[in-house]
Chains A and B, each alone.
Chain A
Amino acid sequence: MAESAQRETSELPQFCSEWLSPSELFAARSRCHRIPARGQKDFLPDGSALQRERLERSLEEHWSLVSEERVERLGALVQAEWIPSKRVVELRTPAGKFWQTMGFSEHGKQFLLPEEALYLMECGSVQVFLHGLPLSIQEGYEMFLSPSTVTLQQYEVFSHLKRLGYIVTRFEPSCVLSHYERTLNLPVQRDRQGRALKRKRSHSPHTDEQEGEESTEPPDHEAKNQRFDPENHPDSLTEEKDQGEVEDKPVAMESTSDAVLARNWWVDRSPRSPMSPTRSQAPRWDFFTITFPDLGARGPLSPLVAPDPTVLPGELSVSECELTPWLQRLNLRKERLSRREQEREQARRRYQRSVNDDKEVRRCGNWAEYQELLRRRRRHHGQRDRPPHLWESTVKPLVQPGQHTSPGELLDKISIIKPSRLLDGAARLEEGADEWKISFDVFQPDTVAEFKKSKPGKPYSRLCVCSFEGPVPDLRVLKQLAFQSGDIPVTFAVVDHGDISFYCFKDFQLPTDVSH
């Protein structure tokens, strides 16, 4: 292997492959590999010599690091060629260990994505040629990174995570399970590579790579729609129906509410009628003609006239009845009142007036009128008690006293901004701006041993790369990305001139334990 590689390389023009003497090799090997620490960040030049010197030293360290010659074993150096039209790097010699987590093969050839190739170039594992000439790392940065492949910021995030040991792959929207699939608990279809291969076989890899996400999305959408069909279709139908009903309902409701209103208007009027004495109803029963044997009646009790036999059972005929003797036979059953009850009794006797002293009550001729009067008074009373500074300005209390019966209901009423989950309504959002998209799937470093490119499994997280100078993602973007990612959290990698910070949003619900 090594020999053939050597032969191949020897055929190629040799620019960088110099032979090192053993001592030089030894020196290179034993060189300190420590990356210079950046130290404290200075925000403003304070003009001091100390600061200037520190800056100079730091710069110098970096320059020396960059200019340092990297010594690698020629045998371990994989040679590859940049294919600008396809924007991939094709391997010329067999791949190294990195093949487990990077690259893809097609038509029996092995390819690296530009960011992977660049990272491997920086690691010293791959040497990339263009037109037979090896590319420097700087040239690699210039050629490989472009908006249609990966941007510099994306690459910075990629290489940062790679260096930390994470497995980072490009995010493919097509391999995210749709909500429908998830709810159906379908077996996870994760032959992304296989699918990508098939597509690549039918199309030229060029178009595929160039169009990238754009080309993959439309078919995916179709597929999604088709998949959604069984669910969506009846849904939309019912929605239509609902709308129909809703459209119907208001009419019906209007008519009924109109009727109710009309009735209310009528009812509201009629109880008011007793207010005017002319329209008051006389009580239904005339208790002067219908006589009850009432021992409590005031004045001398006249003997009861013998009732008409027709109203008596068995056509009895009875004589008159003297009432007065019965007066002595009242209150036979002794009432036992406690002292407190007696006091209350006395107070009531002294202070409480009869309801019939009230003129309005006297005007009521039946229960309906009386109850309406009471209701009206209660309403009036309730409103009168309210302090005007609370109830009569434009800003009123949210809750009327006694309106709600449970704390849950009350909390529901006073929560003006309803809590919502991140995914609420996300499915209905249209595809938004292109600037926000998920770039990478990230897998944890400890999964490297079991990692298979054909079956990557569930990513640990998904990355959306953005910059500190760019706009802050809004709620719509957050919702969209979260929805697109499904059950995998989306992490925002924010790049600030090489410094990368990671942010993510946790969706949680405040506990409520007052439902009843």
Chain B
Amino acid sequence: MAGEGPEKSSEEGTASAGGASGGGVRFELEKETELRFEVEAGEKVQLELLSGLAEVFGSELTRNKKYTFGSGSKIAVFTWHSCSVSLTGKTEVAYVSRDTPMLLYLNTHAALEQMRQQAERDNERGPRVMVVGPTDVGKSTVCRLLLNYAVRLGRRPTLVELDVGQSGVSVPGTVSALCIERPADVEEGFSVQAPLVYHFGSTSPGTNIKLYNKLTSCLAEVFSQRCEVNRKASVGGCVINTCGWVKGSGYQALVHCASAFEVDVVLVLDQERLYNELKRDLPHFVKVVLLPKSGGVVERNKDCRREARDEKIREYFYGFRGVSFYPHAFDVRFSDVRIYKIGAPSIPDSCLPLGMSQDDTQLKLVPVTPGRDLTHHVLSVSCAEDEGAEAGASGPAAQRRGILESPVCGFIVVTAVDTQAQVMTVLSPAPRPLPRHTLLIMDIRFIDLK
């Protein structure tokens, strides 16, 4: 890892490393403190555990292994005992804090683990936890922490990712579920093997809240089915990561999600208002818990979020840090695929026919005529049977509904459109042909620059 010459930061990176006299900056951490650092834009930082025990978001560090963090990473190294670490490279900030809510999070984990033990004993299902809170309070981090602790104890929890803006599992604009079998990699996060992904198509649940709720129900149903056949998954329970939108319809979506997954515990981060509302709107047998956010959580601005999204899509095609995968580019004829967009533009209620409600249009599949404006859009390849789609062109609504509810088997990006030849060039993780021919268009665009 260290040997790889980073193309961009070659001069400065080595200069600063040289300035830190090879070993970098050394930090001595006391018991229950954490080292927080941010990597400067366009830089890389290497972290090495020199002695003691430490963890990054619940994943233990291996001694004397060098971990590299790319530009913009925000990392907290926590130790329960005490340790010394060294940082090499340019960091924006790097400081040690004793003020961490880790002990509270650990106690939360302990309570969840007790629930799992009880579930195992009583042959019941394990705890289903929903983590809610406004944006930038560390929801994903808390999820990762809880999942890591659980999996380190031999549990098989499931991560349900409902944050369509910053998905930790798949590309943005999707909701997904992932069975966790080993702790997250310190650098890469959870290993993504066979996740269940549903197409949402946008980075904000507000663009189509009906679809969002429907997909939530879909995931809940599939998860329940899995729990019925897989005892370990059932005992492990799930940790649901949600969007930071906690007002209005966003709040209603949270209540819907709690009901769909039949959650047992809701962890509210930081916001007392949300805590009180959920206490009021969820039945008494659901434990709603208010937890503080960590002082180390940094606010991300719009650009930062967009960059993270782009990075996630790039990672999908090129692998982590763009080195492990080699995607294919090939032409797809328009006639070979059917492209749909979910959700027709809404119509005022007074213009609707009798007995029809607005959600019908929100869940409707609208065929998209391929054209130049398709360029750079991310398309989901739906798992729906092609025959169904063919028949769907002529009518049966049931089959179209099937497309909505069927998971996604992959993503492609349209890199070029030739309207004359009726062909589009796509970037695809697998060689041709496409496994299925029903494509769903996302609002998200990806321009392959690097």
> Hey, which bits of chain A sit against chain B, CB under 8 A?
283-285, 287, 289-297, 304, 307-308, 311-314, 316, 318, 321, 323, 326, 329-333, 335, 337, 341, 345, 348, 352-356, 361-362, 364-368, 370-371, 399, 401-407, 410, 514-516
Q: CB of B357 within 8 A of chain A?
A: yes
Contacts of B136 in A (CB 8 A): 333
Interface of chain B residues 257 through 272 with chain A (CB within 8 A): 259, 262, 264-265, 268, 270-272
Provide the bound-state CA to CA distance between A516 and B397, in Å.
Answer: 8
B147-162 contacts to A, CB under 8 A, are 148-149, 152-153
The segment out of B64-72, B88-96, B282-290, B430-438 that lies at the interface is B282-290
Work out how many contacts link A and B, with CB atoms closer than 8 A.
Answer: 174
A407 / chain B contacts, CB cutoff of 8 Å: 353-356
Q: How far is the CB of A398 from chain B (nearest CB, A)?
A: 11
Q: Pick the most buried of A355, A401, A514: most chain B CB atoms within 10 A of its CB.
A: A355
| Given known contacts A333-B134, A352-B280, A407-B353, A307 and B264 CB-to-CB distance under 8 angstroms | no
CB <8 Å contact, B270 and A313: no
The minimal Cβ–Cβ distance linking A266 to chain B, given in whole angstroms, is 19
Q: Mark B333-361, 1 if CB is under 8 A from A, else 0.
A: 00000000000000000000111110010
Known contacts A352-B280, A402-B355, A406-B356; is-contact A318 B106 (Cβ 8 Å): yes
B262 partner residues in chain A, CB cutoff 8 A: 366-368
Residues of chain B contacted by A332 (CB below 8 angstroms): 270, 292-293, 295
**Contacts beyond the supplied A321-B103, A335-B134: 20 A-B pairs with Cβ under 8 Å:** A289-B114, A290-B114, A291-B111, A293-B289, A295-B290, A307-B111, A311-B117, A312-B113, A314-B60, A314-B80, A316-B80, A316-B106, A330-B271, A356-B283, A364-B283, A366-B285, A402-B357, A405-B355, A407-B353, A407-B355
Give the chain B neighbours of A352 by CB distance below 8 A. Answer: 280
Indicate the member of B60, B134, B149, B290 with the most A CB atoms within 10 Å.
B290
- Chain B interface size, as a band, is 35 or more
Tell me whether B137 is interfacial, beta carbon within 8 Å.
Answer: yes
Tell me whether B292 and A329 are in contact (CB under 8 A): yes
Minimum CB distance partner of A357 in chain B = B280
Asked if B115 and A290 sit within 8 Å, CB to CB, the answer is yes
User: B57 in the interface, Cβ–Cβ < 8 Å?
Assistant: no
Choose among B118, B248, B289 the residue that contacts A296 (Cβ–Cβ < 8 A): B289
A313: chain B residues within 8 A (beta carbon): 58, 109, 148-149, 152-153
Chain A residues with CB under 8 Å of B354's CB are 407, 410
Inter-chain contact B271/A296, CB cutoff 8 Å: no
Quick one: given A312-B110, A406-B356, A410-B353, are A331 and B271 in contact (CB under 8 Å)? yes
Of the residues A293, A333, A406, contact of B360 by C-beta under 8 Å: A406
Supply 30 A–B pairs (Cβ within 8 Å), ascending by A: A283-B284, A292-B111, A293-B291, A294-B288, A294-B291, A295-B291, A296-B276, A304-B103, A304-B104, A304-B107, A307-B110, A307-B111, A311-B113, A312-B109, A321-B107, A326-B292, A330-B290, A331-B270, A337-B247, A352-B280, A353-B280, A355-B283, A356-B284, A366-B285, A399-B355, A404-B356, A406-B360, A407-B354, A410-B354, A410-B355
Any chain A CB within 8 A of the CB of B195? no
Q: How far is the CB of A369 from chain B (nearest CB, A)?
A: 9
Q: How far apart sit A358 and B355, CA to CA, in the bound complex (Å)?
A: 32
Give Cα distance in the complex from A464 to B353, angstroms: 46
Query: Nearest B residue to A405 by beta-carbon distance?
Result: B360
